[in-house]
Amino acid sequence: MAIVLIGLGALGLGFLLILLISLTAPGRGAGGAPPEDSPHGWIASMGAQELGKLLDMLFTELKFEVEDSRCSGDVVDLLAVNRTPITGGRVYIRGVAHPPLGMVGEEEVRAALDTARAELAGKALVATGGAFSPEARALATEAPMELLDGPALLELIRKHLPPLAVARRV
């Protein structure tokens, strides 16, 4: 009986320590998302519809035509086509707003790959204002896929949408 009580006490203490560490970890806002004042925090705070509009603008600037756009919960799906001979093609884009704990997991990457195959897209892309888990990154390296986290997305905005970058002062 004493061993059980000691075990339960140790388990409770472990959960308490994990909770305290997660609450005091530097560089993260609520729920593990980047803080608003980080350079890409404004992207992480976007809802799915706003993220969809941003991705639509970005890929239009990159010479893609967005054929279809759907929004469901915190996910936006876009199908874009670049009609340039030889280098063009179809790309499925999945935008994930407000990922749990600020991190997109392997399941979202797998869903993007499955949808890209179903849409006969040559490539899949997952974009978020947050980050990607190590498992998600590992899965993406084995497939025709790119991952755009907050900093990478911000860099593309700075390069291809300078008026938006200036308006956001990034």
Domain ranges, ordered by start, for the chain: 2-30, 41-167
Q: What are the pLDDT digits (tens) for 38-92? A: 778 888 889 999 999 999 999 999 999 999 999 999 999 999 999 988 888 999 9
Range with lowest mean pLDDT among 23-32, 94-103, 119-128, 148-157: 23-32
Using CA atoms, how far apart are residues 149 and 136, in angstroms rounded to an integer? 12
pLDDT of residue 148: 96
24 has a pLDDT exceeding 50: no
Q: What percent of the chain has pLDDT over 90?
A: 59
**Cβ proximity of 137 and 87 under 8 Å:** no
Note the pTM of the prediction, 2 decimals: 0.74
**What is 41-167's CATH number?**
3.40.1350.10
pLDDT of residue 101: 83
The set of residues, in sequence order, having a beta carbon less than 8 Å from that of 79 and lying 6+ positions away, is 66, 67, 68, 69, 90, 91, 92, 93, 119, 121
- Give the residue-averaged pLDDT of 151-156: 92
